[in-house]
Structure 1
Amino acid sequence: MGVSGKPAELLEIKPVLHDEIPVVRRFTGGGTVIVDQGTIFVTFICNQDAVPGLQPYPRPIMSWSSLIYDQVFRGIGDFRLRENDYVFGDRKFGGNAQSITKRRWLHHTSFLWDYEVRNMSYLKLPKRAPEYRLARQHSEFIWCLKDYLSRLTFIERTVNALGTHFSLKSVDSEANRDSSAVKFVPSTRLLTRQELEEAMSAADSKNSLAESISPY
């Protein structure tokens, strides 16, 4: 879930606890997504001047990213950026989140390659949803990338599209890890069972109070 996400508003906490589903609060904004083997992540981590003329603010970065994926999905489906989502027509297949600092910005996307229908039951319909969702349930709102192209083709087309904007080279992230560097303390973290139980308890108490003062 996003950095400001509230578990009681976004998750069906009781089944999440029962099935021992890990809940991660990431350091970026955005909504809550189910992550499993059917998820593909793509992240751009850029210095402020990496893209000439691009203003380091959410909407310009989002618009720029859609130009990249317009190349990736050219000739495949009805791709577009709708509000903060990547969609084919009116069905979402990619959710975005960002982090912007003084000298750098990060834009990452969780692409829905495939999903288990039953896993979507862990998510509530968010109070703040894009207008085009029209209160549709998850099964009527989201779409799988696998119905349009293979995973390998998607990766190849993404790399090729980025190659028109940047000079690329492959690196081994583990081989480039500098053990002598200053220790990194991540702000993304796993929520504890106690935190989730407290969130559920607080929500139940709030609902009970609302019911007790509701007029006839």
Structure 2
Amino acid sequence: MTDTPVPESLWPGTVLRSELTLPTPSENLALDEAILHHVDQSPDAGAYLRLWQPSTYFVVLGRSNNVATEVDVDHCAAAGIPILRRASGGGTVLVGPGCLCYSLVLPLNPLLRTLGVSGVTSELMERTAKGLRSMNPEIEVRGTSDLVCGGLKFSGNAQRWLRNAFIHHGTLLHDFDLALLERCLRHPSREPDYRQARRHPDFVGNLNARLEDLKRCVSDAWCAIDGPIPPEIVGDVQRIVDTRSQHVDWNIAPPM
């Protein structure tokens, strides 16, 4: 965190919360992007927290990740696990049942711009961790944007900044099939110092928490109130999916 107190006006007073999960992996990634572009184009539209739960497994590459380096492509193909790319940075993740995904889309204000990406990430991660500590006081922020409990990572996060807004999204593992990680993902090409070259089974774990408690804690941390995602945002999802489907580097191994 920064050395000086963070003013309350750094963050929106309230955030609109939705649990909208769309049918396919590509639609869910596109919805995050659609919300981001909506807030970027209309900063007075407010801020959004989306909580969603994948019903099937799929791999998501960060914007600049190399698929052959980060993913066991042959295993994913044999298991029918799609490999897609998101618009934000960060590392490669496997998501699916037992993983709560959360997406924060916030308008940029002068205070956030002054802090910059690293400062905002630090403050944002600490605010989220503080909310989760009501379930387990041992939760801590490690690396750039990991959440760890008992030495095991249960949350990875990534961001993308546009001119007037940014998205911060991540995963919260609570009942995930951890054995799949080593089958689908190679050892990452980049890793935080605290990982110390640990293999996936020795580095990643589930947070001992009920799904509803996770949702509540994240929502409370961001003063989130229920509110629908505007239909014009949802309506933009198919356009983004269609655009991405034309590029093999985005839909690397799409669903059958």
Q: CA deviation at 1:180?
A: 11
Q: For residue 100 of structure 2, what is the amino acid of its counterpart?
A: I
The aligned counterpart of 2:50 is none
Distance, in Å, in 1 between the alignment partners of 2:118 and 2:150 is 21
* AA matched with 2:231: R
Q: Does residue 1:102 correspond to 2:160, yes or no?
A: no
Query: CA deviation digits over 1:12-52, x for unaligned, max 9?
Result: 11111112210010101111111111111111111112xx7
Instruction: Give the 3-state SS of the residue equivalent to 2:176 in structure 1.
Output: coil
User: Which one of 123, 126, 145 corresponds to residue 185 of structure 2?
Assistant: 123
Matched letter for residue 111 of structure 1 = L
Q: Are residues 1:80 and 2:140 paired?
A: yes
Structure 2 SS opposite 1:139: helix
Structure number with larger C-alpha Rg: 1
Identical-pair percentage: 24
- Aligned equivalent of 1:136: 198
Contact 1:2 1:29 in 2 (8 A): yes
Letter in 2 for 1:87: V
Distance 2:103 2:234 in 1: 25
Deviation of 1:90 (Å) = 2.5
Cα distance between partner residues in 2 of 1:37 and 1:129: 25
* Equivalent in the alignment of 2:64: 4
Structure 2, unmatched stretches of 5+, are: 1-60, 245-249
Q: 1:212: which partner in 2?
A: none
In structure 1, what is the Cα distance between the partners aligned to 2:139 and 2:80? Answer: 36
Q: Would you say the 8 A contact 1:40–1:113 is kept in 2? A: yes
Aligned 8 A contact 1:2 1:27 in 2: yes
TM, length-normalised to structure 2: 0.65
Unaligned runs of 5+ in 1: 194-216
Match of 1:171 among 219, 223, 227: 227
Q: Which residue of 1 aligns with 2:120?
A: 61
Cα distance in 2 for residues equivalent to 1:180 and 1:80: 34
Distance in structure 1 (CA, Å) of the matches to 2:153 and 2:106: 25
Q: CA deviation at 1:110?
A: 1.1
For residue 154 of structure 2, what is the aligned residue in structure 1?
93
Offset at 1:89?
4.0
Q: Is the 8 A contact 1:66 1:80 kept in 2?
A: no
Q: Relative to 1, partners in 2 of residues 1:58 and 1:178: Cα closer, same or farther, differing over 3 Å?
A: same
In structure 2, the residue matched to 1:46 is: 106
Structure 1 residues 127 and 181, CA gap change in structure 2 (3 angstroms): closer
Q: Which amino acid aligns with 1:39?
A: C
Cα–Cα, structure 1 residues 179 and 70, in superposed 2: closer, same or farther, change >3 Å? closer
Contact 1:72 1:154 in 2 (8 A): no
Q: Which has the higher strand share?
A: 2
Q: What is the root-mean-square deviation in Å for CA atoms of aligned residues?
A: 2.4
- 1:14 paired to 2:14: no
